[in-house]
Structures are given as C-alpha cells and as structure tokens.
C-alpha cells in the first residue's frame, strides 16, 4: 500500500538539473539479499546553474554505506539523506562522487529496480526504477555513459549481461566470475539493464548497410531454446527495414534479447539489452497461431525501433512519453 499523498507534477514547473553526469561506473556484487553497489559519477555543474546549487540524487529502499567526493570520504554531517534522496552541497564545478550502497533484490517485491525472480537477477527501470539500484538523478533528461561490472557466483549465474558491448570478463576466487559492459552512448537511467542467471543462448548475426557485423543473441530458459527462430528472423527483418526506410543503422557491436516467463512487463527497450516476457518471443508451429507469430514480429520490431526513437533520441521529461511511444508504434505498424 502506498504511504502518504502523491504530489502533483506540472509541466510548467520543469527545470533542468544543475549538474550533468557525464559518466557512471557501476560495480555490482550480486547476492540475493545483500547486493553491494559501488557507483562512481563524474559530474559537472551546468553552464548558468547557480554556484551554490546542490546535487540531489534520487534513491530509495537501500542502505547507504559510504559517500566520497574527489576521494575524500564525507562525514554524516556533510550530506543529507532521507527515504527518497541523497543531497550533496558545496560541490566544486566538476568532481567525482563515489557512493556505496546495499540493496535486497530478493525482498524487492515491487519488481522495480533490481529484483530476484525464479533464480534470476533482472531489472526494470522505466520509469523510476533506477533509484532503487543506486543514488542517481533518475530523470530522462540526464544522459550519461554507463560502464557496468557484474560479479556473481559462476555456478548459479553463468550468464552476466548489461547494456553496451562486452569489454572484458574473467574468473575470481571462490567460484565467482565477472563481466564488464561498456555502453559508449549517453542514455537516461530508465534504459539501464542488467541480467544474471542460468540461461541458454541462441546466436546469429546481421550485417549493416555499412558492412558492420552485429552479433545477435537471444537468451532463454533452457527448455525454450528451440522456440526462438521466428523472433531472430523478426529482429533481422526489423534491422533491415529501419535501414531501408529511415537509414538508421544499429550502433553497438551486439544486440541482445532476454526472454523469460517471469518478467513483470511485456517488453522493455533497454539499450542493447531488451528484456521480454517469453510470450512475446517464443513460438513454434506446433503450438503458436498466426496471430502469435504476427504479434511476436510486431513487438520485436517495436522494441528494436526504440533504439533510435526513444533511446538515442529520448524524452526530456515524462510528459513527452507519448512522443517516443507514439512514433515507435507508428513505425512498427
């Protein structure tokens, strides 16, 4: 049950944030009940912003364990924290803010942010889920380059995925492993995603109009590995159509889809790492109808088309939601 009375937000009250977050580096040590999140934000004051304007970061349902600015750890009296935010004052015009937090994915029954379901870590960040992962200006007009390092037990979570391109990976002591993903394109926090679990992979590729070979990968629960052919073909057709019709070429080295039965939404267009409920990906001629096949093609196309109409060209605020969704629906239909 919600507590308190929600406040009304008006378009006329929109103000840009006083600071820009140029990049964020995340280190995520996955654990069902005590996931450790370390974030490193490179921030700078916007031109024209008040010199004494504070940096207010959204955050909820997490335990704050450390805050530092340019390598100096702050005392409790040097920042303000409540149930909804972390506020830093007297910051220089540019600095590096580091924040350590603990979160409980297993206890996250709202399924916003990072949660654990059916033995798999998954995220849902649109519209305000990222603030349940770490303290951050969780609004669509703050575009940042994300680097994400995931660490987990290899036996339980052999697949570690996040936005962007896989930069490196390796083994650790104690049966753990890690993977670092780098997304070179600035994006809002609602497009962040990470997945960790025991999944099978179906792989193919697509050659773009400029001759770049893009790896295509669909991750599914093991028993569904033979039901991905139509989804893969639909993805390749969507990529070709966006090139032919709008001259929009895909902009990463890999495009991934995760399709699981327990995802809490229909589908989500996270940059380079779409997460789907399996009913919008899996199909076989023995069990699926013509409408099922058509529906899969449409939803695959819709989420892919968001790469340009919604992700690379995104919203300033949530009053513009209908622009990205309406245009993308027009494109997929």
Q: Kindly tell me if the per-residue pLDDT of 2 is higher than 60.
A: no
What is the band of 58 on the pLDDT scale with cuts at 50, 70, 90?
very high
Supply the pLDDT for residue 262: 83
As a whole number of angstroms, the distance between CA 86 and CA 5 comes to 21
Interval 208-231 mean pLDDT = 98
Q: Kindly tell me if the per-residue pLDDT of 156 is higher than 90.
A: yes
Q: In this structure, how many other beta carbons lie within 10 angstroms of the beta carbon of residue 239? A: 24
Interval 125-131 mean pLDDT = 98
Burial class of residue 321, CB neighbours in 10 A (0-12, 13-18, 19+): middle
Give the residue numbers marked as catalytic.
303
Supply the pLDDT for residue 3: 55
Out of 1-10, 259-268, 291-300, pick the least confident: 1-10
Mark out the alpha helices in the chain (DSSP H runs): 229-246, 290-305, 321-332
Q: What is the dihedral of CA 259, 263, 268, 274, to 10 degrees?
A: -30
DSSP 265-294: SSEE--TTEEEEEGGGT---TTT--HHHHH
- Average pLDDT of every residue of the chain: 97
What is the number of alpha carbons within 13 Å of residue 220 lying toward its C-beta?
A: 21
Tell whether pTM > 0.85.
yes
Supply the pLDDT for residue 137: 99
Q: Pick the more confident residue, 239 or 2.
A: 239
Interval 95-123 mean pLDDT = 97
Supply the pLDDT for residue 97: 99
Q: Which of 139, 196, 174 is nearest to 20 (CA)?
A: 139
Domains and CATH numbers, the chain: 20-110+121-197 (2.60.40.1730), 200-332 (3.30.2010.30)
What is the band of 1 on the pLDDT scale with cuts at 50, 70, 90?
very low
């Amino acid at each position: 049950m919600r507590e308190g009375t929600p406040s009304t937000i008006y378009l006329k009250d929109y103000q840009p944030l006083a600071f820009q977050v140029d990049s964020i580096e995340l280190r995520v040590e996955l654990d069902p009940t005590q996931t450790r999140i370390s974030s490193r934000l490179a921030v700078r004051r916007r031109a024209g912003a008040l010199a004494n304007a504070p940096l207010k970061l959204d955050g909820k349902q997490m335990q704050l364990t450390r805050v530092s600015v340019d390598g100096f750890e702050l005392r409790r009296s040097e920042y303000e924290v409540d149930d909804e935010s972390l506020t830093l004052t007297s910051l220089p015009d540019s600095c590096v803010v580091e924040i350590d937090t603990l979160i409980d994915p297993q206890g996250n029954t709202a399924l916003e942010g990072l949660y654990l379901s059916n033995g798999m870590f998954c995220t849902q960040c649109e519209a305000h889920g990222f603030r349940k992962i770490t303290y951050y200006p969780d609004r669509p007009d703050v575009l940042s380059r994300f680097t994400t390092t995931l660490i987990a037990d290899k036996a339980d979570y052999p697949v570690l995925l996040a936005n962007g391109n896989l930069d490196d990976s390796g083994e650790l002591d104690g049966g753990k492993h890690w993977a670092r993903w780098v997304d070179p394109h600035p994006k809002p926090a609602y497009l962040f995603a990470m997945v960790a679990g025991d999944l099978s992979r179906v792989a193919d590729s697509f050659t773009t109009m400029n001759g770049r070979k893009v790896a295509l990968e669909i991750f599914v629960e093991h028993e569904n590995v033979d039901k991905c052919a139509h989804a893969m073909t639909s993805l390749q057709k969507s990529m070709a159509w966006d090139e032919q019709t709008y001259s929009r070429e895909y902009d990463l080295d890999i495009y991934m889809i995760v399709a699981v039965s327990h995802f809490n939404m229909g589908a989500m267009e996270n940059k380079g790492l779409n997460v789907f409920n399996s009913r919008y990906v899996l199909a076989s001629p023995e069990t699926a109808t013509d409408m099922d096949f058509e529906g899969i093609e449409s939803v695959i196309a819709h989420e892919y088309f968001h790469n340009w109409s919604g992700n690379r060209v995104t919203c300033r605020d949530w009053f513009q939601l209908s622009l990205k969704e309406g245009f993308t629906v027009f494109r997929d239909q």
